Amino acid sequence: MPLIQVKLIQDVFTPEEKKELIAKLTDVVVALKGENIRPVTWVTIDDVLSGEWGIGGQSITTEAVHSLIAGKA
């Protein structure tokens, strides 16, 4: 059974956006394998605290992600 695990930096996605992400990721699996797979497709979302995620040796913060999304990075 499909298990999709998503890690996000805390406070970047709203609860509504997370619900939409879960629905759309499930829809992708269903598009590939058929509707019968929907009831057994699991999606989990884990929030990582701001500053506890690193890329290239640098900690990434919630504020940095918001700046990136806004085109300020």
CB 62 within 8 A of CB 9: yes
- Indicate if 15 belongs to the active site: no
Residue of 1, 2, 22, 24 marked catalytic: 2
> pLDDT tens for residues 30-71?
999 999 999 999 999 999 999 999 999 999 999 999 999 999
pTM tops 0.85: yes
**What are the residue boundaries of the structural domains of the chain, listed by start?**
3-69
Element (DSSP H or E) covering residue 68: helix 62-69
Q: Which fold has domain 3-69?
A: Macrophage Migration Inhibitory Factor (3.30.429)
